Amino acid sequence: MDNKRPKRRKDKYNPYTLHTEKGKYYISFTDANNCIQKVLISKKIFDSFNKFELEDISWMNEYDRHYEHSEIYESTLHERGAINVECMEEYLDNTQNMENLHMAIKNLPEVQKRRLKKYYFEEKTFDEIAFEEGCTYQSIQRSVYRAVKKIKNILKNS
């Protein structure tokens, strides 16, 4: 084939392939006997099919991205439209819990604090942290687990 064409969707509504060879235009498809047929067509027909394919793929992409693909009921619309307003007490509790967590982390030894942050906040594995710090997997794992245990104890007592 002479030209590279964008990959088009193939389905029962678009079973053909457009291509060019040596300056000639072709359309290929599989017939009822499961044999591939290649038909020479004019440039005008080629351009018409090409335009149709591009419009069709554009519409299918729009459908996939923007149209609702589930059934809509009054209850689901209500759930989507309802703004989940957090009451003041919940907000203050959550704020206090976050402050307590930050204070508990600040009270950890530097090594535990650093490893805990790498593991939970930077989403590094124990192996990655061990490699960075030049120590064993087990020492990182124990350090992180001990830090979590200390935090739980601090939060339980506060």
Take residue 102 and report the two structure tokens written for it: 């930050």
- For residue 58, what are the CA distances in angstroms to 49, 52, 91? 14, 10, 45
Domain ranges of the chain: 17-66, 89-157
Inter-residue contact 100 to 155 (CB < 8 Å): yes
CATH fold of 89-157 reads Arc Repressor Mutant, subunit A (1.10.10)
Give this prediction's pTM. Answer: 0.44
The pLDDT assigned to 63 comes to 73
Mean pLDDT in consecutive groups of 10 residues from the start of the chain, 158 residues: 55 75 88 87 87 79 70 72 68 83 91 93 92 94 94 86
Inter-residue contact 18 to 49 (CB < 8 Å): yes
| Residue whose token pair is 């392939």 | 17
